[in-house]
Amino acid sequence: MNKLRKQALALIATRFLVALAVFAGGLAAAQAAASATNPVHVSGTWEASDFGSLSCAPDGSPLILRCTTTGFVSQYTGSLTGRSISNFEQIIDCKTGHILGHGTETFTGSIEGGVGSGSLTWGIHFDSAFDCLTFGVSGFSARAVVSSGTGTLAGLKGSIQFGDLTYDGELR
């Protein structure tokens, strides 16, 4: 009977250790998921380094152009360090001196503070004033919504607002 009792206690102890390991694993996964949802504030500057390829055609009026840009390259400094490549479409209205556009941008680089590195892809909508005589852009404003990521940036979502040469946003 003593041997049977020892086996029963060993079985109970084994089940307890397995249950404890499962609980600890679940707790660690929950903590990792919780930390991934903590907001990460990003801010800094961006600058165009290659304007890519542009093709435009009149859109119902010689003063309104529908344009497509591919391979537009930007350099990022600050919380985001790296570069992005964008493809977008825009309507240039020389009558009102305004641009509206949208596209997709893929950033490749890192996020400071130990967040990691990889790529982030976002959809972006923008508008600005535009001088059709000098090709001057001013008052650029954009909002980007992150849709996917790779590397240690996989799973991040959020939004970024852009000004003429600055960005500011929150990722989770």
| Same-domain pairing of 62 and 89 | yes
Helix (H) or strand (E) holding 29, with range, is: helix 2-36
Residues 12 and 92 in one domain: no
- State the residue for tokens 């930390």: 35
Q: What is the pLDDT of residues 25-57, one digit of tens each?
A: 443 333 333 345 689 999 999 999 999 999 999
CATH code at position 53? 2.40.350.10
The rounded radius of gyration (Å) of the Cα atoms in the chain is 26
pLDDT tens-digit profile of 53-77? 999 999 999 999 999 999 999 999 9
Same domain, 30 and 94: no
Q: Which residue in the block uniquely carries the two structure tokens 């909508």?
A: 125
The boundaries of the domain holding residue 6 are 1-36
Do 74 and 151 fall into the same domain?
Answer: yes
Split into its structural domains, the chain has a count of: 2
Task: Check whether residue 62 and residue 27 sit in a common domain.
Answer: no
Question: Residues 31, 71: one domain?
Answer: no
Shared domain check, 63 and 146? yes
pTM: 0.77
